[in-house]
Amino acid sequence: MKKTFNLVICLLYIKLGYLITDASSHSLKFLAIGDWGGIGEFPYTTEAEVSTARQMAKLAEVEHPEFVLALGDNFYFDGVKTVNDPRFQDTFENVFTSDALNIPWYLIAGNHDYHGNVSAQIAYTKISKRWNFPDLYHLQSFTIPGTSDTIDILMIDTVLLCESHDRKEIDNQWEWIERHLRNSNAKYLFTAGHHPIYSIGWHGGKDLLIDKLLPLLYKYRANGHFAGHDHCLQHLQASKENVTVDFIVSGAVSFIDSSTDNIARVPDNSSKFHFGDEDSNGGFCFVDANSDRLKIRFVGANGDDLYQTTIHPRYL
């Protein structure tokens, strides 16, 4: 009788362990970093970049993210010149060396990348197995493991939208953005660009994105916008007509800035979290999404959990 009881208990523990493991495996995990592009002179990295890359690797070895979102300013201060520019090795390949980070990286350009040759960064897609920069703006769609639920991320070129004088190129991208937002049936829907919509940091948000992109996010019930540009970590949140949009700023890899100069330019009570400790080595964003919730977690380069919030699925 005792042996039978012990066997039943053992089987229950095994079954419980299987259910826990199985449930936890039904999530999509990824990292989001911006402004990670080292520095334009030897050793072409900063202490903060190297430290953050090391901590990203430690977390990735445990959490096994599926990809990295790289949100622009990939190479400070003047981008790259050609597809064979040594900066690809010095600032990227030789820094993010962990096998756990040998996963797809999905990239967009920042303003400093436009000081150089963005076409060379796009061309590097054919050279590196993990570098995915197929066009100036591109849609990435991911399926949450074990489900049919998806996450759509529109990787947009905010430099062209906010700083270009090419009206046709600008109009084409706005048409592309609205079309993909309108057509998305994803469980979670985000845009990701170099510039933030809202930010309390030194640069602050972009009026054009507030005027044109934010209304589209509300209209099509998107979850939020990932950005860099300001060298800090932030979570802001705003709502309109029962739609809540979350703004994630993750630009604290190569440099850290404590400024909150633009705190008066964001909606009241929208700033939920800000980290810009200039004595630190920065940090990054980790995302864990399942069918019920999407968790945003900011992690410091020293391994500290700085902040966590939960985003709920869209209700279409």
- 206 C-beta neighbours (distance < 10 Å), count: 23
Q: Does 225 appear as a known binding residue?
A: no
Q: Does 76 appear as a known binding residue?
A: yes
Following DSSP, what letter does each residue of 166-183 receive, concatenated? -HHHHHHHHHHHHHHHHH
Q: Does 203 appear as a known binding residue?
A: no
Output the CA–CA distances (angstroms, integers) from residue 154 to 71, 142, 157, in the order listed.
Answer: 12, 11, 10
Instruction: Answer whether 306's CB lies under 8 Å from 285's CB.
Output: no
Q: Does 235 appear as a known binding residue?
A: no
Give the Cα separation of 76 and 227 in Å (integer).
17
Give the Cα separation of 12 and 32 in Å (integer).
38
What is the helix (H) or strand (E) element at residue 23, kind and residue range? helix 2-25
Q: Does 115 appear as a known binding residue?
A: no
Give the Cα separation of 158 and 72 in Å (integer).
10
Q: Does 231 appear as a known binding residue?
A: yes
Q: Does 246 appear as a known binding residue?
A: no
Known binding residues: 35, 73, 76, 111, 194, 229, 231
Known binding residues for Fe cation: 35, 73, 76, 111, 194, 229, 231
